[in-house]
Every structure is written in structure tokens, then in C-alpha cells.
Structure 1
Amino acid sequence: CLVVFTKILMFYKWIRLFFSNINELFLLILYFCALEIIPCLLVYKGVMELNNYLVIKF
């Protein structure tokens, strides 16, 4: 419950930061891609490559 509440407050902070002007939606998308989505995709790709390597070795 505390984690969900913290995430909601962080999202509200980001909305207040990036939506001072409505044209700054691009900055919010860029922020999420750079700090939230891209690292998850890189970890996923790394795990898939490791899985392929281990399957070939065994």
C-alpha cells in the first residue's frame, strides 16, 4: 500500500513538473522512455541472450 501511494505521489510530481505547459507532453514521454522503459527493455534483452547462450551450452 505504501509503495502504491508513493508511486501515485511521484506520478503527480511528474505531472506538475512537465505539464506546466500543455506542449511539454513530449518531455514526459521522453523522461519515461529514458529512465523507466529503456532499462527494463535492456534487462529483458540481456536475460534473453543469456538464456540463448545457456541453452546452446547445455
Structure 2
Amino acid sequence: MPHPPRPHGQVTPALDELNDRIRRLMDQPPSAERTAAYERLLRQWADARQPASFVTAA
């Protein structure tokens, strides 16, 4: 899954790990378990892509 580079070309370790897990999963034969695992990994990938939320005091 492509993603834009972070500052200085760095990619978050979490995204690298999730991308690797997704690639390995896609090498497995199709099954209901693979579909469920893919869905979970995609949610985790989307969450990891979200910028950090900062709360500022008024």
C-alpha cells in the first residue's frame, strides 16, 4: 500500500510492519479467515495513517 513519505523520507515503523503483514497475508490462499484478517489490517493501517491529534489549552 503506497503512502506518502514522512518528513526526511521516513516511514513510520507501524506502517512498514502493517504493509509487510498485508503482503504476507495476500500470499495465502483465499479464505474467510484471510478476508477477516485483511479487514482488520486495513483498519489498523488507516488508523496508523491518521496524523497525531493534539489538544491545546485555551
Output the TM-score relative to the length of structure 1: 0.35
Larger Rg: 1
> Higher relative contact order at CA 8 Å, sep ≥6: structure 1 or structure 2?
2
Q: TM-score, normalised by structure 2?
A: 0.35
Between structures 1 and 2, the one with greater helix share: 1
